[in-house]
Amino acid sequence: MTRQEREQGRREVLERAVYGPSSSPGNRKFVELFASMPLRLELGGSLSHVVVAFETWGTLNPEGSNAILVLHALTGDSHAAGPAEVGHPTPGWWNHQIGPGRAIDTDKYFVVCPNVLGGCQGTTGPSSVKPGTTTPYGSLFPDITIRDQVAVDIELSRALGINRWKGIVGGSMGGMRALEMAIMAPQLVDRMMILAATAAATAEQIALCSIQIETIISDPQFLGGDYYNVGDGLGPVAGMAIARKLAMYSYRSELEFQSRFGRKLQGDQVADGVGNFAIESYLENHAVKLNERFDPNSYVVLSKAMNSHDVARGRGGLSEVLSSIKVRTFVAGVDSDRLYPIWQQSQLAEHIPTTELFATIHSKYGHDAFLIEAEQVAEFISKSLG
């Protein structure tokens, strides 16, 4: 692809992009991929007419050499930066990292953040209308893997005319995607920055994801996944509330919970006993908030995708696969992360021969530190981008 063709293609895509709901809020754009040729899925089946919602910040330079791909975690979306807006009730999840003068400097870089395949914030997922029908996929949405998500990210790169990303960065599930992309399409990636992720989901991570999946699918309102526009229209909110509470436990640390809540009660209650603890209120608030913005089917589909994550699947031994990576690699872990413990990032750094940096984020916030510890994360990203 010549530079001219690339620019032409990108212009067309970006012009076509705003074709989604006319109420499409703020910065979000949409592109349709796999329209002529369906995406063949790793576990069987296919998806066609895959819509990807994405946001961009900054300007691509004429050489196309300043593009950065930001990949979100399980319940994240394309709104990595920017203020709260319609459809995005909170500011960008990495607002403190992306912007003019920030670690991912939008005066220097062209930054792209797509919503993941299987998600529920604009990209095709179980709540999307199935092409050729008038109803959402629901139970018909297929099982997908991290590799399927990355196949979409690769196609998006092509659609945007980006031949090579200056950097791909992601935490948690976003880190899994970055890692798979470096293996599946190394020619597209100058460097990857992985935070709090792993080479392969462990038994423990599978256990936690599976329990969360079970809380959702065993909620009678799940209706096998076809709960859209049925009954009260709420779907399995009780099951997803429990899943979110367990997830929050896994995202944070004992130290944080104990120093922040201890045995305190909600509000100004004084009686002690068997309930109404502040920690319960905290978990409940998180559960309510997630139910307001996230589709339980997406939660199930993405949790299964994370369980599938194993860079070694079908490729040989784990260390062999990691050793074959040739993309410049920058890895960070959190010392209090109990979900993706730091030995897993250390494993990546040890086995990937092109690792240039292994950083430890010191925090009491556990896994979520990659979202919270703004200064340390910024330092890691700045060093990685050189």
Interface contacts to its own copies, rule CB under 8 A? 42-43, 143, 145, 200-204, 206-208, 210-211, 214-215, 218-220, 238-239, 241-242, 245-246, 249, 254, 257-258, 260-263, 272-275, 277-280, 283, 304-305, 307-308, 310, 313-314, 338, 341
Q: Which is nearer to its own copies, 88 or 245 (CB)?
A: 245
Residue 323: CB minimum distance to its own copies, A:
19
- The whole-angstrom separation of Cα 37 and Cα 20 is 21
- The whole-angstrom separation of Cα 373 and Cα 359 is 13
Q: Which is nearer to its own copies, 154 or 312 (CB)?
A: 312
Residue 212: CB minimum distance to its own copies, A:
9
3-state helix, strand, coil in the chain (%, to 5): 40, 15, 45
Q: Which is nearer to its own copies, 99 or 239 (CB)?
A: 239
Q: Which is nearer to its own copies, 228 or 261 (CB)?
A: 261
> What residues act catalytically?
172, 337, 367
Residue 257: CB minimum distance to its own copies, A:
4
Residue 370: CB minimum distance to its own copies, A:
19
Residue 320: CB minimum distance to its own copies, A:
16
User: How would DSSP label each residue in 265-316?
Assistant: BSTT----SSS-BHHHHHHHHHHHHHHHH--HHHHHHHHHHHHH-BTTTTTS
Q: Return the H-helix or E-strand segment holding 67.
A: strand 67-71
Q: Which is nearer to its own copies, 308 or 329 (CB)?
A: 308
CA–CA distance from 317 to each of 51, 146, 220, 310, 323 (Å)? 34, 18, 41, 10, 10
Whose structure tokens read 């996230």? Answer: 294
Residues 239 and 246: beta-carbon distance below 8 Å:
no
Question: The tokens of 98 are what?
Answer: 């992306």
- The whole-angstrom separation of Cα 65 and Cα 62 is 8
